[in-house]
Structure 1
Amino acid sequence: MGKTKKLIELDDKAIEILEKQAKLQKRSLKNYLEYTLEDTALRYSEPSEEYKKMMDDMLDRMEKGTLKTTPLKDVLKRYGREL
């Protein structure tokens, strides 16, 4: 996949905030912005065929009553967390 450069303008306050977030993640501002934008774009994208198949299977098992689930409180307890 190719790459495209874009010039963007952001408010100074927004840049200041984003720079702090980038430092917390030990990233440069440029890398942080690229990562954040690409991650956001992926969230808007169509789910993969594998994911759709997995979800269809889970929905089918739920309808048939064969889907096994674990209560959230049990999962949290397993990892030493609480609700």
Structure 2
Amino acid sequence: MKTYTHNPTEVEAIQVARPWKRVQDAIPFAHHVKEASGAFAFFKLSMPGTLDVARAYEGDWIVKHPNGYYEKLTDDEFQRDYGDGDGNSD
């Protein structure tokens, strides 16, 4: 996970992208779900402290806030809040 800033909050985040194991290693509650063909479908996120289960698709971001709360953002939402202004957060 890398650190990103959105005045003045610093968060850690990882984008759902290959290799999938990198995401699973960074987010222990991310469960890899496959299509019937065996291809990647999404990560099921059963985040601590909530009963909601989110789905993170390729390109989405998983963000950890300083208070320990996790959220899933689409790439557009993440770029709006944490991007560096040119649409590229890396």
Which TM-score bucket, shorter chain as reference?
under 0.3
What TM-score results when the alignment is normalised by the length of structure 1? Answer: 0.23
Who wins on radius of gyration, i.e. which is larger?
Answer: 1
- TM-score normalised by L of structure 2: 0.22
Of Structure 1 and Structure 2, which has the larger fraction of its residues in strand?
2
Between Structure 1 and Structure 2, the one with more helix by share is 1
